Amino acid sequence: MNKFLIVGLGNIGEEYAHTRHNIGFDILDYFVSKHHGVFTVDRLASIASVSLKGKKIICIKPSTFMNLSGRAVKYWMDKEHIELNNLLVLVDELAVPINKLKMKPTGSDGGHNGLKSIQESLATTNYPRLRFGIGNDFPKGMQVEYVLGKWHQEQETAVAKKIERAATAIEDFVLAGLDTAMESVNKFEI
């Protein structure tokens, strides 16, 4: 059975729930629920396992806080014997407009502490990521408050549609491969 590791980045704790920075958790919650999985608390993460057409998909939400996400990713990749090209990281992205999703096979951490930690733990930037655009509509000096803030009410419908599309992108990644998933998701716009 081909195995995949899907990592949703976020911070544990009720104060971070459903913030822009926790969109990785929200995407995985939707995806796992859609495929009738259930998260349980395990080492360094909440974990759920679902099957999709003979492929095993292990989904984790690291419990290490964002800046140590790489510890959880490395642990579960090693434990489950996941190949690097079967890893997909779901992450919030300031540099992508709020109406878009972007999937890439590699890239820099772009100042994102979760990606920086994963890069350090895996000693590479060559792993696929799905970047959920959160836009950058905040006053100068207010980036942290914006990223850790909740979605504006007028954004919630678009965010819900993008979460659904992100779940489809995970399915495409697992079933059709990175190139096909990228071609489809990178054209998506709300």
b/e per residue 46-79 (b: at least 16 CB within 10 A): bbbbbeeeeebbbbbbbbbebebbbbbbbbbbee
Of 18, 21, 35, 112, which residue is the catalytic one? 21
Contact 165, 185 (CB under 8 A): yes
Residue 81 among the catalytic residues: no
- List active site positions: 21
